Amino acid sequence: MDKTTLEALEAALQSSPDNAALRTQIAKGWYSYGDYEKAKAHFNALVQTTNDIGAKKDLARCYFQLKNYSPSIVICEEILEGEKDPEMMSLHVESLIKSGQTQQAVEQYQEFHEQYGWFDEGLEKQLKISTQVSDLVFDEEEDDLFLEKPELDFSGVGGMENVKEEIRMKIIQPLENPELFKAFGKAAGGGILLYGPPGCGKTFISKATAGEISSRFLSVGLEEVLDMWIGNSEKNLHEKFEIARRNTPCVLFFDEIDAVGSKRSDLRQSGGRNLINQFLKELDGVDSQNDGVLILGATNSPWHMDSAFLRPGRFDRIIFVPPPDEKSREAIIALQIKDKPTVDIDCPKIASKTKGFSGADIKLLIDLAAEDSLRASMKSGNIVPITTKDLLKQVKNVRPSTKDWFNTARNYALYSNSSGLYDDILQYLDL
């Protein structure tokens, strides 16, 4: 509508000021013409005299155009009390942004999002937030960047017979015999949480689980998931689950999972709760199925885990991975020296002298002995194999690393064991 027409209509309105339809037409005309002052005056008059919600929305838009953000915010609030109009939500948030109240804008945005599931891509970009957990277009080659196909299987893991058995029973068998498990009313799903002192094979056996069933292995660490943009961490986490779901069977392994499922207050702030909730949703398979996804988690600090993770259907098998006992140490030593030049190694003897050693400690011991032999070999020009004596000589150079862990664990086991979570520790420590 051009200006002349609008002025003619104004004249007509003079003689019949109660003609709301005419006034609406004029108000909209001025608005599209870009004269927001005139439009505002008419919309205002309409709001005063009629109960026209449309006029009210347009009035808010006029204020916004006139860079008068406080009234536009107030009107948006009023409208939204009665009606969940997405445009008004956008206008509300945008008014906050334009008036420099970015933090309030973020909060308001998230409130609307949580209450009404509303989202606005443009605003999310402006506010650097992202609430949408979208199924990004995927690319098989890109998936392969994250996925491993480990050669390592259970035969390469020394000892840990209990853990192997639990993993077989809880996640491998249900995958291989779904009908049988159904018949006995055993639902597949849920994951296994491994906990214990560092270096005792939690990560190692998780990887071997994938090798055991010739599946893929996806290892996820917190640092790959956390992102400073609000909402992005949830999205990243979802994406990891999706990669596993697209590539079944797949062992999805969360290393040092206590950092995600943390009770620590630093994560509680900065939206950590949202990440925990997203994690629980993924574990529960709320939006997508986890068939064929074997979920394993490992932690050295189970006391930092949010207890919501430990409910049925989530990590409902919680397995203590102790330092290897003598028999296991023997097996680990035998495995670790297998491909190195040695003569007549007395594995039982070394095992008996390495109480309290973790698998990693044993590895270190053997590495140290191997270095010495290598040095000697270079000096003599012939291969000088590792001997039992060489290994025993190194025992005193390696400090069993699991003691510190038990000092901490003992306290939790004694004083915060109401759910019996740490019974295995108590039993191990013979307390």
Ligand X SMILES: Nc1ncnc2c1ncn2[C@@H]1O[C@H](COP(=O)(O)OP(=O)(O)O)[C@@H](O)[C@H]1O
Interacting residue ranges for ligand X, rule: CB under 6 A: 157-160, 198-204, 298, 324, 332, 335, 359-360, 363
Nearer to ligand X, 123 or 331 (CB): 331
Nearer to ligand X, 59 or 200 (CB): 200
Q: Are 204 and 324 in contact (CB under 8 A)?
A: no
CA-based nearest residue to 419, from 259, 280, 309, 286: 309
Provide the minimum distance between the beta carbon of 153 and ligand X in the complex, in angstroms, as a whole number: 12
Provide the minimum distance between the beta carbon of 336 and ligand X in the complex, in angstroms, as a whole number: 6
Nearer to ligand X, 59 or 347 (CB): 347
Q: Which two tokens stand for residue 111?
A: 């409130």
150 binds, among Mg ion, ligand X, none (CB under 5 to 8 A by kind): none
Cα 306 from Cα 310, distance rounded (Å): 8
360 binds, among ligand X, Mg ion, none (CB under 5 to 8 A by kind): ligand X
Q: Which residue is nearest to Mg ion (CB)?
A: 203
421 binds, among ligand X, Mg ion, none (CB under 5 to 8 A by kind): none
What is the pattern of x (binds Mg ion, CB under 5 A) and - over residues 145-184? ----------------------------------------
Cα 131 from Cα 312, distance rounded (Å): 27
CA-based nearest residue to 242, from 289, 200, 278: 289
Show Cβ contacts of residue 261 under 8 Å, excluding neighbours closer than 6 positions.
276, 279, 304, 305, 306, 308, 309
Place of tokens 């008068």: 68
Using CA atoms of 223, 224, 227, 230 in order, give the dihedral in degrees to the nearest 10: -110
Q: Which residue is nearest to ligand X (CB)?
A: 359
Place of tokens 């003897």: 349
359 binds, among ligand X, Mg ion, none (CB under 5 to 8 A by kind): ligand X
Provide the minimum distance between the beta carbon of 164 and ligand X in the complex, in angstroms, as a whole number: 10
Nearer to ligand X, 204 or 422 (CB): 204
Provide the minimum distance between the beta carbon of 133 and ligand X in the complex, in angstroms, as a whole number: 29
96 binds, among ligand X, Mg ion, none (CB under 5 to 8 A by kind): none
DSSP 67: T
Cross-sheet strand order for the sheet of 191-195: 147-148, 216-220, 250-254, 293-299, 191-195, 315-320
Site for Mg ion in 197-226 (CB under 5 A): 202-203
335 binds, among ligand X, Mg ion, none (CB under 5 to 8 A by kind): ligand X
Q: Are 386 and 340 in contact (CB under 8 A)?
A: yes
204 binds, among ligand X, Mg ion, none (CB under 5 to 8 A by kind): ligand X
Nearer to ligand X, 213 or 298 (CB): 298
Q: Are 23 and 13 in contact (CB under 8 A)?
A: yes
Nearer to ligand X, 161 or 316 (CB): 161
Residues forming contacts to Mg ion in the complex (CB under 5 A) are 202-203
